[in-house]
Amino acid sequence: MDIVMLGHSAAGKTTYVSLMYAAMRDGIQGFSLRTDDLHVHGALTSAAESVLRGRYPGMSSRRQVFEFVLQYQGRDVLPFRWRDYRGGALTERQADSQQAGQLQQDLVAAQGIVVFVDAHQLLHDSASHRYTRRMTVLVQRALEARGDQLTPLVLAFTKSDLLDLGRPGLMERLVEPFDALIAGVARTQHLRGAVALVACGPEPVNVAVPVLWSLHYGIVGRGLALHSSFEDSLASARRAAANDTAWDRISSWWKEESSWAEISARHERAAQAEYEQLEPLFEPAERLAGLLEGVPCF
């Protein structure tokens, strides 16, 4: 699964990755993350420890790709890539910037998109609405170019610890710049949107929500694809079995070609192999659905 994280400079993306990894590495209700890259593990762990002590990392200056594996109760469930872009890639012209062009390509191909917005800046700096519109246009174009692939979209509003969360109408003000995008997603069957108020500091809040929401639908999408393949293999096995006769077995043996019985058996084995990959996804998918039940969605 490929997940693209985008947001403008200073939105907290770099800080988020380290805190998200640290939280998920320690485990949340049976779910955890691992990486086979010891350098990435060490760098993210060290960065998270610094943030928890109040020291923040510098802004990302380049595109980064992290290779992770979601685990459930110690068992690998879903490998995924988490792609991070420097904020400047959003405002640069594709014709002039390799990263801007790569961002658009990755958005179209992504199986999950997480949009990071500095909530405090959005509420207090009118110029931030221009940047937000730019992100909205990029995401809308990418989603329209993808067809009907199941895709999770998360709007992650960072620095929520600087907001008065009890203020009436706060959420409405935050999502207002995304109203058209939210309405478009809500009209579809294959797009699943969520809103997360996130704080990436010494006292992290909701850092697991964006990644778990994305991975939940990654598991669901993987399960749907396996189920479709399983059903196709079973149907092929039944069609082949319907043509099985004693004469076909004899003539196939004589011609040194596969009989319908052998073809049916191959399809049955394929169906069994697909089910063996599908069955372990049931429990983590259901568990994640319950874990994310209270997340605002659209």
The answer to whether 82 and 47 are in contact (CB under 8 A) is no
Higher-pLDDT residue of 80, 128: 80
More confident residue, 125 or 59: 125
Distance of CA 135 to the CA centre of its chain: 18
pLDDT tens across 252-264, in order?
999 999 999 999 9
Give the model's confidence band at 88: pLDDT under 50 very low, under 70 low, under 90 confident, else very high: low
Domain ranges of the chain: 2-221, 224-291
59 pLDDT band, cuts 50/70/90, is: low
pLDDT at 235: 96
How far from 105 is each of 65, 170, 205, 223, CA to CA, in Å? 14, 34, 31, 25
Q: Is 168 exposed, middle or buried (0-12, 13-18, 19+ CB in 10 A)?
A: exposed
User: So what's the pLDDT on residue 166?
Assistant: 87
Identify the CATH homologous superfamily for domain 2-221: P-loop containing nucleotide triphosphate hydrolases (3.40.50.300)
pLDDT of residue 57: 78
Q: Per residue in 185-221, pLDDT tens? A: 999 999 999 999 999 999 999 999 999 999 999 999 9
Mean pLDDT of the chain: 90
pLDDT band at 61 (very low <50, low <70, confident <90, very high): low
- Copy the structure tokens of residue 116: 């990071």
Total-model pTM: 0.87
Reported as a pLDDT band with limits 50, 70 and 90, residue 93 is low
DSSP string, 142-193: HHHTS-S--EEEEEEEE-GGGS-TTSTTHHHHHHGGGHHHHHHHHT-SSEEE
